[in-house]
Amino acid sequence: MTRDPLETLTVTIGGLAFSGWSEISIDYSVEQAARTASLTISDLGGAFPVEPGKECTVEASGDLVITGYVRDVAPSHDESSHSVSISVVSRTVDLVEASVDHPTGFVKKKSLDAIAKEFDTAGVGVEADQAFPIEPASFINPGRSWFYHMEPLARSHRAFIYDDENGKAQIAVRPRGRHAGALTIGTGGNIIAASAKLTERGRHDEVIVRGQSSRGSDSAALQPEGRSKDSSVRRRRPRIIVHESETTAQKLKERAEREIKRAAGFSREASITVSGWRDAGGMIFRPHYLISVADPRIYINQDMAIKSVRLTQAIPSGGPGTRAELTLCDPRALGGEAPAAGAGEASAAAWATPDVETSLSAPTT
């Protein structure tokens, strides 16, 4: 195991750059719309011109990690020391917490990504990894925030909403890329600690998705269903979902299949702590990216998808060092393909997301 590489942290607040941070923790996830950070610095001069709401960026050795605002400021001291702790939140916090202030609150005949941009009245910025089908209409309830309006709609299109280092919202269906290198144990490995959890929580033997189309008057339009079965669940545990937007029979079928795979993937998670914040190519770890994992102690030898990232660093060197804590799942849970097995033996069968049986139907009345 190599010694933890030290990151040089620079926090720029209101145009002033501050370094010398003794502790830092940064969290971001494919299921988190706004990344956050908490930092502590010794303030020997007794003055630290920081207040909540100021624009802020956090950089690690020159690479941008967060663009947002100071959230909280907490100075403290005792007889021999004085420190200030701050928290930082991404610009996308305004998409989560602020109400959409749109002239009409209504758009029609626009795609998911176009609706997202139309309702971004805070001017945060929205990017999508693909073009989406046209929605007949979208009406936002008064007082509703952008995120709580868009998240169900994005979910109906298989998409996740999270932010990037520039503080812009990302709408993505599939993993965005692959990290260089691998997470491994043993001589030359970078894994410090690892654990896994396998559960039946959230699993169902059958998912039934129901919706309605504005076009047509027969049962196929008014009462379509998509069904998907998970043969690895051995008892009757159905789940019925009402689709959140305008639908087609194919959309319901795909939604049912996705729900089965996502539930199975999220029911098998690994938590891996590695030395440093970067992959073998020098990129800071990112959610919704793939990485190869070879750790027979938790029965994994395959590609995994990064669900969430926590970056920590403590100085002086007597602290726990510079670490990345990664939560990993089967790539199919995050819109990816079946995972590629590593060299040698593949992962234990329990890690696999099952193949599913899907069908379409129109219930009889």
Q: Find the CATH number of the domain harbouring 110.
A: 3.55.50.10
What residue spans of 164-299 are helical by DSSP H?
A: 219-222, 249-266
pLDDT at position 351 over 60: yes
Residue 157 pLDDT level (bands cut at 50, 70, 90): confident
> Do 41 and 113 belong to one domain?
no
Is residue 4 a part of any domain in this protein? no
Q: What pLDDT score was predicted for residue 321?
A: 85
Over the stretch 173-191, which tens digit does the pLDDT of each residue have?
999 999 999 999 988 889 9
> Do 182 and 40 belong to one domain?
no
Beta bridge partners of 358: 228
Q: Which among 115, 138, 172 is the end of a domain?
A: 172
> Do 231 and 310 belong to one domain?
yes
> Do 130 and 165 belong to one domain?
yes
> Do 360 and 221 belong to one domain?
yes
> Do 253 and 359 belong to one domain?
yes
pTM for this structure? 0.85
> Do 68 and 125 belong to one domain?
no
Determine whether 16 is exposed, middle or buried from the number of CB atoms within 10 Å of its CB (0-12, 13-18, 19+).
exposed
On average, the pLDDT of the chain sits at 86
Is residue 63 a part of any domain in this protein? yes
Is residue 106 a part of any domain in this protein? yes
Is residue 2 a part of any domain in this protein? no
> Do 83 and 182 belong to one domain?
no
Average pLDDT rounded to a whole number, residues 186-204: 87
Place of tokens 């812009």: 168
Give the phi and the psi of residue 263 in degrees, each rounded to 5: -65, -40
> Do 192 and 298 belong to one domain?
yes
pLDDT at position 364 over 50: no
| CATH number of the domain bearing residue 46 | 2.30.300.10
Residue 346 pLDDT level (bands cut at 50, 70, 90): low
Amino acid found at 215: R
Over the stretch 94-128, which tens digit does the pLDDT of each residue have?
999 999 999 999 999 999 999 999 999 999 999 99
> Do 151 and 261 belong to one domain?
no
Over the stretch 211-227, which tens digit does the pLDDT of each residue have?
876 555 555 555 678 88
Q: Which among 23, 56, 90 is the end of a domain?
A: 90
Domain count, the chain: 3
d(Cα 276, Cα 284) in Å, to the nearest integer? 9
Is residue 256 a part of any domain in this protein? yes
Is residue 3 a part of any domain in this protein? no
Q: Which among 155, 172, 189 is the end of a domain?
A: 172
> Do 125 and 20 belong to one domain?
no
The DSSP bridge pattern shows strands 191-198 and 63-77 to be: unpaired
> Do 355 and 235 belong to one domain?
yes
Q: How many residues does the chain have?
A: 365
- Between 3 and 337, name the one with better pLDDT: 337
Is residue 302 a part of any domain in this protein? yes
Domain hosting 22: range is: 9-90
